[in-house]
Structure 1
Amino acid sequence: MKQGDLRRALMVVTLLCAVLFLYLYWQQTSRQEPTLIFNYEHAFLPNYKKPQPPQWTWECVNQRCERRHVTTSHQSKLQSLATCGMLCGSMQLWPQPTGPVTLGSRAVSFNHLQMELMHGVAGPAKAMLEQAYRAFNDSVVSLVQRAEYVKDHPDVKKFIVKVTVNHPEIVRLKLDTSEGYNVVVKAYNDEIVANVTAKTFFGARHGLETLSQLIWWDEYAPGGGSLRVLKGATVQDAPAFPYRGLMVDTSRNFMSIETLKRVLVAMAASKLNVFHWHITDSQSFPLVVPGYPEFSRTGSYSPDMTYSPEEVRGLVEFARLRGIRVLLEVDTPAHAGNGWTWGPKAGLGELAVCVNEKPWNIYCGEPPCGQLNPDNPAVYTVLENLYKYLLDLSGEREIFHIGGDEVNLECWAQHLQKNVVANNYTDLHDLWGDFTLKAISRLQQANGGTKIPHVIVWSSKLSQRPYISKYLDKSNVVVQSWGASQWTDTPDLIADGYRVILSHVDAWYLDCGFGRWRETGEAACDPYRPWQTVYSHRPWQQFHLPKNQIMGGEVCLWSEQVDESSLDARLWPRAAAFAERVWTDPQLDLATFNIHEDVYTRLNTHRDRLVARGIGAEALWPQWCSQNPGMCL
């Protein structure tokens, strides 16, 4: 072949390759695939399976879905379990709304590309609402099991979501912020219109979450499956308690930011509104503090097991857009060891004592030991600067958690015995109380001289008589009561006029029941708290406590025996059971403690939603029970 012919042949091949590349690129970009709205590692990723011929169909009999084997006589009226569950008997909303609810018995198909947001919200709430809508849209997309369904012909041409917020200037969640909302879904000719009305963005966000729960995937829809929504519905709703918290400890075992985002996604789905981040303890100090880099350098497990300021602020904003406030807790004066040992090298003296001391069971409740040195003035300066940093990171100015529990007086007695200050105290509880007063004073200075309205402390001996009235000001100190519900702590606190957050260990501690993790000392809290125990705990009814002094409740997960590989299953769906207790506060039969079948069914549906959204929630029961409602109870 001549050189000129070879050159022409190469040019033709090159041109054909270019045309093929452009064609393949066009095919890839024009394909109608569900769109992920927010990015994080464990976000929902589609794993579509080829639809199989139905084996079972469900019929609504006496307000309950009954399973039938598919025969030729059923072919024209097949009904999936999801559709039967949404249209027959129980509503599938979690938590159950507190106001009137009417749900239609008919549904229409649509696809997520037909959804449109309409609103007239201005100011900072505008961007927040649009981000919340995108998260709502992602929840809807997570249900999709067949990408090609967007090419089908749904029942409607448009799905309009209209949102009205009466007070768009409110962009920070506070205890008195309205979180109520109304949702009305109606069909107009070939359109579905969902009106979400609320006083604040936070109520509107909850309304969008409820709207997402009126939508499901019908695998038996023509073509191999489609999204469906109720053709008509009205929901009025508002929470029973303003503080609905979940605490995760990331000091004993590190949890990545991506893992914590999953926690927040599930919290938002369950309408929990406070993420209490127990970020440090005597085991580790993973928080990067720019003014004191020694904290994380000497206290983290490794350089890549830390939380940068940018990561924390990003998580706080991620939470805020989902109606959740973040409380950052650096526990003091106890639970402060590794991370606090750099004082002498910095010329600040001993900031902490008893750090990693042996035998540990003399100086603390679990290894390693460590608590702050109450006699070192530098400790209070460091605390003030640390508090200022935490306030800046979280943006919180209404609620602040200072920790304050499980101080080991023997540690102070032995390490401060030669000190004049220590000798001035005949009762070291008074030293503990004075430390607390100084810490709260430094918190106020860190807040520009303004008192934090609600300073939270864990219940302890200091929150008991006779010390409590001397050291804890009931006008702004809130006690998180974590002892067993049968103990007198909570009733005494309320009798003394204090406001409380309830976290009773015998019901709302989710780390219990997994055996011992060490050979010496009391290494386990038993037994396991199943979701039924979590759900049935209603202490204000059981112990006749006035609700006006109960700010709310918080479910807690300490991480001695859990890390990010097991976090999801340890939390969910038990934390969701707790969420209905503090949002709805359903009545409790004290004679039998029986839980209605409806609760099992709704919680199982909610668990399936969480799984669809990328949460590794634990199963409630065998799948046979899901397919045969009421047969397992």
Structure 2
Amino acid sequence: EPFGPPGGGARPPQPFVHPTATGSLSGVVVSVKEVEPPLQMGVDESYELTVPSSSGTVQISAQTTWGALRALERLSQLTWWTGKGTAFTVFSCVITDSPRFSHRGVLVDTARHFMPLPSIKMAIDSLVYSFYSVFHWHIVDDQSFPYVSTTFPELSAEGAFDENHIYSQKDVADVLQYAHERGIRVLIEFDTPGHTASWGVSHPELLVPCYTNGKPNGARYGANPLLNSTFEFMGKFFAEVASVFPDDYVHVGGDELSLGQGSCWTTNPDMQAWMKAHGETDYAALENVYEQRFVNVVSATNKSLIGWQELFDNGINLPSDFVVNVWKGGWQEEMSKVTAKFRTVLSSPYYENYIENPYSNSGDWMGYYTTEPLNFTGTAEQKARVMGCETSFWAEYIDSTNFFSRAWPRAAASGERFWSDASVNDPVEASGRLHAHRCRLVARGIPAEPVEGPSFCRDEYDVQYNPPF
């Protein structure tokens, strides 16, 4: 269970009685067998933490550096101020621990609303505090293209909101280094063929021209599946992505392409001609043409791929190591299908950008907490293919002003389930831990919102405001 002793309480406050100290600690000894092995999906994060009941040293042993980092975070959450000078108390314990799921992610969308670099670093720190392991960076979308490409710099020069709302190569390297030092993987996502309007600002030839009454109407939509030049462009771009982002996996999107009657693709004469020549009536066939060639292009960069569930649903010939990111409703049935062949990451029940949980009537964070990700029909082998889960914070109505209060401590409730054994699932028991963790986040400078009604934290959050006049 990730959350330690309380730092506040409900009204009327109940005094927290500190145990009587039985000795003093002289230091922390950390033993690691593998120093900084590649930080990739499935890396060993196990550890053993021993705090003696009398004087001595705290002992941490871990297989990897990343497990040792988790142990140090756990130790910090077992430590609290006594209220007297610089004296701190630590719970005496022996903990043997490891995560239930390797992939414990938070998706942050920086395309619909830009998030400045200090806020991204603060977000990464908040992941560490709640035992997450993956920063899923949804970096571009229809609305803006803030990533500064060295191969195609015009993408951000023309596709970003403006010249100040960009992530330079130096910024990206800074984020990658910052996350790595804290044991957080950065999973980058560039979504195609839909969600590509910002790509088309500088490269309109990438997108399909739209028609009205047989004439071009000036709009364009979706990466063009009929042009070899589309895939030549994607090959060059994703070769750069593969060289910049060190994770074994890149997220290739693949969701929400609009193909309904009257949509752009269905009105384009070139697309219509292809459909007629191939005897097709469902334009999803053209989407599959794109996705199959695209998957092959990105796979050639020696990256493994993760993508939204449409790539599986549409019957694309996917690589054997492909990870399907399940995000739609009816996730139990989808998980049963996907895990028959592929590994998966579950996002569907954890869309926490909503102010209230739309998928549960059992309370906001409690709805997320009580969701059991392996609650689908499947064999033990199938359930072993679930690599983990993600909470998502889509940014239509989120930026740095409200991300942290929207995310925390609600996402911490999900994070506890992603880390802990399946038997740790009682929201009533978790309630006190969540309030304590909320106070811990506040004390560390994260403006986590209250979730338990009237309450207080010993260290309340205080905005450092400097009046402009």
| TM-score interval for Structure 1 and Structure 2 normalised by the shorter chain | 0.7 to 0.9
Q: Is the 8 A contact 2:355 2:406 kept in 1?
A: no
Query: Which letter maps to 2:343?
Result: R
Q: Is the 8 A contact 2:417 2:424 kept in 1?
A: no
5 Å-filtered alignment, 1:479-628, equals 479-485=324-330, 488-495=333-340, 497-504=341-348, 507-513=349-355, 530-541=364-375, 546-587=382-423, 595-596=427-428, 598-624=429-455
Find out whether 1:400 has 2:253 as its counterpart: no
Find out whether 1:202 has 2:55 as its counterpart: no
Deviation, 1:340, is: 2.2
Query: Any idea what the Cα deviations from partners look like across 1:21-52, whole Å, max 9, x if unmatched?
Result: xxxxxxxxxxxxxxxxxxxxxxxxxxxxxxxx
Q: Which has the higher contact order (CA 8 A, sep 6+)?
A: 2
Q: Is the 8 A contact 1:332 1:371 kept in 2?
A: yes
Q: Separation in 2 of the partners of 1:196 and 1:288?
A: 41
Query: Which letter maps to 2:395?
Result: S
Find out whether 1:277 has 2:132 as its counterpart: no
Deviation, 1:623, is: 4.3
Q: Is the 8 A contact 1:272 1:324 kept in 2?
A: yes
Distance 1:332 1:536, change over 3 A: same
* Cross-structure match for 2:21: 107
Instruction: Give me the TM-score of the superposition, normalised by structure 1.
Output: 0.64
- Considering only CA atoms, is the larger Rg found in Structure 1 or Structure 2? 1
* Cross-structure match for 1:390: 241
- Of 195, 199, 203, the match for 1:343: 203
Query: Which letter maps to 2:196?
Result: A
* Cross-structure match for 2:43: 177
SS class of match (1:568):
helix
- Of 144, 149, 160, the match for 2:27: 160
* Cross-structure match for 2:176: 316
Q: Separation in 1 of the partners of 2:271 and 2:61?
A: 65
Deviation, 1:547, is: 1.9
Query: Any idea what the Cα deviations from partners look like across 1:417-458, whole Å, max 9, x if unmatched?
Result: 46754543413222212211211221133x2xx3x3x41111
- Of 161, 168, 186, the match for 2:52: 186
Mean CA deviation greater in 283-292 or 529-538: 529-538
Q: Is the 8 A contact 1:248 1:276 kept in 2?
A: yes
Distance 1:327 1:602, change over 3 A: same
Deviation, 1:474, is: 5.6
Give identity over the alignment, percent. 29
Q: Is the 8 A contact 2:110 2:138 kept in 1?
A: yes
Query: Which letter maps to 1:549?
Result: R
Deviation, 1:616, is: 1.0
Q: Is the 8 A contact 2:335 2:376 kept in 1?
A: no
Q: Is the 8 A contact 1:261 1:315 kept in 2?
A: yes
Query: Which letter maps to 1:415?
Result: N
Query: Which letter maps to 1:550?
Result: V
Query: Which letter maps to 1:611?
Result: V
Q: Separation in 1 of the partners of 2:441 and 2:186?
A: 21
* Cross-structure match for 1:255: 115
* Cross-structure match for 2:224: 373
Q: Is the 8 A contact 1:508 1:529 kept in 2?
A: no
* Cross-structure match for 1:297: 157
* Cross-structure match for 1:475: 320
SS class of match (1:554):
strand
Deviation, 1:551, is: 1.1
Q: Is the 8 A contact 2:266 2:272 kept in 1?
A: no
Instruction: Give me the TM-score of the superposition, normalised by structure 2.
Output: 0.85
Distance 1:443 1:579, change over 3 A: same
Query: Any idea what the Cα deviations from partners look like across 1:583-612, whole Å, max 9, x if unmatched?
Result: 1043277xxxx623x311111111111111
* Cross-structure match for 2:78: 214
Q: Separation in 2 of the partners of 1:182 and 1:585?
A: 16
Q: Is the 8 A contact 2:134 2:187 kept in 1?
A: yes
- Of 413, 429, 454, the match for 2:284: 429
- Of 306, 312, 334, the match for 1:463: 312
Distance 1:309 1:422, change over 3 A: farther
Distance 1:369 1:277, change over 3 A: farther
Query: Which letter maps to 1:603?
Result: L
Q: Separation in 2 of the partners of 1:287 and 1:196?
A: 40
